Amino acid sequence: MKKVFLFMTAVFLFTVSMAASGGQASPFLVCDPQAGVTTYKLTGPAWVPTTVPAQTDGSIKMDVAASAIGANSLTVAACIADPLWGESCSAYVPFAYTRPLVPGIPADTRLSP
């Protein structure tokens, strides 16, 4: 009975730790603050052209958790909206990253004496 209790306690602790680690923040695309920037424009092979509002300090913070597994690339431009001159954007800068593969299923799971 003691072994069953210890096993159930271990399973419970493992489940709690997995749930806690799953609640962490997603990976975000970020940059240094840029004075006056109001939006960022993003394009890429797997991305529909998107406009992301800048943070209050002019930086970008965009969740990329929904990215495809494997290599990803996009381009980013910082833009300023001016009421007199209209919108003006920087040159597009390439950005590449890799989303890791999902681990395989555990093999040959069993109890050991």
Whether the Cβ atoms of residue 62 and residue 55 lie closer than 8 Å to each other: no
Q: How confident is the model at residue 44 (pLDDT cuts 50, 70, 90)?
A: confident
**Per-residue model confidence (pLDDT) at position 73:** 93
Q: Among all chains, which residue has been given the structure tokens 């593969």?
A: 101
Phi, psi of 20 (to 5 degrees): -65, -40
- Residue ranges of the alpha helices (H) in 1-113? 2-22
Grouping H, G, I as helix, E, B as strand and the rest as coil, residue 27 is: coil
Higher pLDDT, 111 or 18: 111
- Token pair recorded at residue 66: 């929904």
- For residue 72, the 8-state DSSP code is E
Give 50-68 pLDDT, tens digit per residue: 999 999 999 999 998 888 8
pTM strictly above 0.85: no
pLDDT in tens, 73-112: 999 999 999 999 999 999 999 999 999 988 888 888 889 8
Per-residue pLDDT, 24: 53
Token pair for residue 1? 């009975």
**Structure confidence at residue 46 (pLDDT):** 72
Tokens standing for residue 17: 């730790």
Closest by CA to 71, choosing from 41, 103, 100, is 100
Determine contact, residues 53/79, Cβ cutoff 8 Å. Answer: no
Position 10 pLDDT exceeds 70: no
